[in-house]
Structure 1
Amino acid sequence: MSTAKELVDNINQTVVELIVNQTTTEDNGTISSRPNKGTPEGMAMAYGSLVIMALIPIFYGSFKSVGYHREQRESGEQVEAMSRREAALFPLYASGALFGLYLFFKYFSKEHINLLLSVYFLILGVCSLASVVSDFLDNFLRSRNITFFRLNKYHLLLTQNSVDMLNMEFDSKDIFALIACSGVGIWYIMKKHWIANNLFGFSFAIKAIEFINLNNVVTGCILLCGLFVYDIFWVFGTDVMVTVAKSFDAPIKLIFPQDFLENGFNGTQFAMLGLGDIVIPGIFIALLLRFDVSLNRGRHVYFYTSFVAYIFGLFLTMVVMVYWKHAQPALLYLVPCCIIFPLISALLQGDFFRLIRYSEDSLKETQENESGESTEPSTTSKKEN
């Protein structure tokens, strides 16, 4: 579907849930597997698949974020960005939400809580997946100059006391995408199949990386460092995250069966990666891609540097986990890699201070000033003529 403000707001509202539930496993940590289950080949296949599945939404979502921010600037709309104060306080908010869920699961029926959360994430997941599918359809139809699927356009507007409560524009392909993704939602509710779970996880991660704006690198570093401490404390310091991880049932993780070679798509022993370990580094990597674009050098040095750093961090997490036979909080390894690698690259390229000072607000103001300056001479020349 066309990007609706309601969908953007819902995606932003679920960031806390994505961070809170980074450890949807049966052990401590964000990447885990049940010990002594499956063959070494099956484990290698599962971990390799998790790495690939994590890279896809980061890569695609980062380039989508470039287009989204360009459209917002061209339309004159203000892109809401996380401030440094909000970035510093975010781990505290996430900790409060995590501890709140812990108390709920400890003193109330987890079946009822999971039912409410499952319905919430199901509705959000169907809308998010439909948006992703609609984007793919739109690109496919445009590349082949097919227009009949986009002929019928609709506008849904709900107002109350002259205030827009819902304002959405969509066409035939959006309706088709919503119906198809609703089928995926029904499949997930009935079977809880890991493929349906991953489809929703992909869409959550892509949309979060596309829409969430860090605005500048310093804010991103503050956020990542705060969540670095958050992840270590709640995983190794208490049993809170473990309890929530065991109790929470929602498509906020990517999973792959370690017994895939033996049982195929019906495998039951899963390796898992929380969406927080994809989204949080992903929005930082997307910011570096937008910095590359702002340099206008025709190459994406800092994006690919951070992308490689993320791959290295994931592999390092898995190596440590296999060696120590204990699940690990992935941000413990991802955060240093995703921050240090681009900063070293910036030092070598001579862009360190430019990277630190980069702000998309200042970029927008610069573009507006340049646009204003370019129009004034032409007006003057007309008067002179």
Structure 2
Amino acid sequence: MSSGDVVGASVDGMNSTEAGNENVKIPATAEGMAIAYASLIIMALFPIFLGSVRSVKHHKEQKQQHKETGEKPDTLSLKDAAMFPFVASLALFALYIFFKIFSKDQINLLLTGYFFVLGVLALCRLARYLILDRIHFHFIHWLVNNLFGIAFSISGVEMFHLNNVVTGCILLCGLFVYDIFWVFGTNVMVTVAKSFEAPIKLVFPQDLLEHGLSGKNFAMLGLGDIVIPGIFIALLLRFDNSRKKNSKLYFYTTFIAYLAGLILTIFVMHMFKHAQPALLYLVPSCLGTPLLLALIRGDIGAMFKYEDHPSEEEKKKPTNKSPKNKAKKAK
């Protein structure tokens, strides 16, 4: 996935459906909205949890490979994190221009083929026993979109590693501003999200009870609102594991904070009847909660010192357990 695809659209309350040859706005029922948003929340939580657990195994494999080959694994650097919102903005605006200039159907046909190949590869990696050729792709269906989207999200959280908390803070804060600007400042994000028929978002019909799987009144959640907080939550799980205390306190606490932030996003969206930048609520909850907890418990120093793959300079620094330090303490 490109950076523009990773940073998807925020939750969007699109309450219109097609009736005959005219667009008629039909409000979604309370039951339909509840089912749709509950389903989106579950689909968002699942990739973060599974991807985080798998990232621990992937991290161990990277460390073993580093010992054997001496090659340092690729992680997001501070510079990469700082540049990410700008690159994502360029990609998003480029897509917006393409949709304004070229035919929407032609662009989506090209992108559907591209994401079909990526989606099949992601699914093969996650579940090699699935027989993908039993699925018919002669039409675009939201179930297939979600299947690919969830596979992308799991792979993203598992493979896309932040090396330390500082990098995570820079990335999340940068995308916090990015999301607010492109949703509230312009109509670019919402336009691309509604026009882009590719698995960059999870969708669920709010008219499922009325029209079944053929429903067209979709609620949406961008993959960026899953993967971006997800890679930070995965980092906290690896930090928990490094402490050797058999406790996943920071992981579970931040996981619950993400859930609370997502629920708040949906609540505010319905209060103001306007698409919301989900990272506006997810970033403060996913950053503030673990940092405040670490400050209270006295772990803030250890949290900021933790690195998935320490630099050679850090490895050479003497620790408190070294003979020299022990001698100083004895005096």
- What range describes the TM-score normalised by the shorter chain of this pair? 0.7 to 0.9
What TM-score comes out, normalization by structure 1 length?
Answer: 0.75
- Asked whether the 8 Å contact 1:73–1:364 carries over to 2, the reply is no
**Worse overlay, 263-272 or 224-233:** 263-272
CA contact (8 A) 2:153 2:223 kept: yes
Cα distance in 2 for partners of 1:85, 1:363 equals 16
Q: 2:222 aligns with which of 274, 279, 284?
A: 274
1:210 partnered with 2:158: yes
| Deviations 1:31-58 (CA, angstroms, capped at 9, x unpaired) | 3331653210111111111111100000
Alpha carbons of 1:367 and 1:292: their partners in 2 closer, same or farther (altered >3 Å)? Answer: farther
1:255-270 residue pairs with structure 2 within 5 A?
255-270=203-218
**Which residue is equivalent to 1:160?**
none
> Post-superposition shift, 1:275?
0.5
Q: What displacement does 1:256 show?
A: 1.2
Which amino acid in 1 is paired with 2:248? H
Q: Aligned-pair distance for 1:224?
A: 0.5
CA separation of 1:88 and 1:82: change in aligned 2, threshold 3 A: same
What percentage of aligned pairs have identical amino acids?
55
SS of alignment partner, residue 310 of structure 2: helix
- CA deviation after TM superposition for structure 1 residue 270, in Å: 1.3
Find the counterpart in structure 2 of residue 313 from structure 1: 261
Q: Confirm or deny that 1:63 pairs with 2:11.
A: no
One-letter amino acid of the counterpart of residue 60, structure 1 = L
CA drift of 1:86 comes to 0.9
SS in 2 for 1:78: coil
Number of equivalent positions: 306
**Distance between the aligned counterparts of 2:304 and 2:260, measured in 1?**
23
User: For residue 181 of structure 1, what is the aligned residue in structure 2?
Assistant: 132
CA drift of 1:15 comes to: 3.7
Q: Distance in 2 between matches of 1:182 and 1:346?
A: 48
* Contact 1:31/1:274 (8 A) holds in 2: no
1:161 equivalent in structure 2: none
Q: For the Cα contact (< 8 Å) 1:214–1:283, is it kept in 2?
A: yes
Range with greater deviation from structure 2 (301-310 or 248-257): 248-257
Q: Secondary structure in 2 aligned to 1:268?
A: coil
Give the SS at the match of 2:73.
coil
For 1:297, what is the secondary structure of its paired residue? coil
TM-score w.r.t. the length of structure 2 is 0.87
Amino acid at match of 2:87: Y
The answer as to 2:62 corresponding to 1:72 is yes
Code of the residue aligned with 1:98 in structure 2: it is L
Structure 1 residue aligned with 2:322:
none
Give the aligned partner of residue 106 of structure 2: 112
Tell me which amino acid in the other structure corresponds to 2:53: F
Report the secondary structure of 1:361's partner residue: coil
Unaligned stretches of 5+ in structure 2? 17-25, 319-331
Aligned to 1:287: 235
Cross-structure match for 2:28? 38
Question: Which consecutive residues of structure 1, in runs of 5 or more, have no partner in the other structure?
Answer: 1-12, 24-28, 135-175, 371-385
Shift of the alpha carbon at 1:181? 2.4
Q: Helix, strand or coil for the counterpart of 2:309?
A: helix
- Which residue, 169, 174, 190 being the options, matches 2:138? 190
Q: Tell me if structure 1 keeps the 8 A contact 2:3–2:84.
A: no
RMSD in angstroms over aligned alpha carbons? 2.2
* Structure-1 separation of matches of 2:232 and 2:3: 14
Alignment deviations for residues 48-106 of structure 1 (CA, whole Å, 9 cap, x no partner):
11111100000000000000010111122532011111101110001111111112111
1:16 equivalent in structure 2: 4
Residue by residue, what CA displacement relative to the aligned partner does 1:325-356 show, whole Å, maximum 9, x if unpaired? 11211111001100000001111221011111
Match for residue 185 of structure 2?
Answer: 237
Judge conservation of contact 1:37–1:258 (CA < 8 Å) in 2: no
Provide the rounded CA distance (Å) in 2 between the counterparts of 1:129 and 1:369.
Answer: 43
Q: 1:364 to 1:309 in 2, by over 3 A?
A: farther
Secondary structure of 2:220's aligned partner? strand
Q: Please say if residues 95 and 192 of structure 2, whose CA atoms lie closer than 8 Å, have aligned partners that are also in contact.
A: yes
The structural deviation recorded for 1:196 is 1.2
Aligned to 2:23: none
Whole-Å separation in 2 of the counterparts to 1:368 and 1:54: 41
Residues 353 and 48 (structure 1), Cα distance of their counterparts in 2 relative to 1, 3 Å cut: same
Deviation, 1:241, is 2.0
1:123 counterpart SS class? helix
State the AA in 1 paired with 2:132.
C
Indicate the residue corresponding to 1:226 in structure 2. Answer: 174
Give yes or no for the alignment of 1:51 onto 2:19: no
Q: 1:363 to 1:49 in 2, by over 3 A?
A: farther
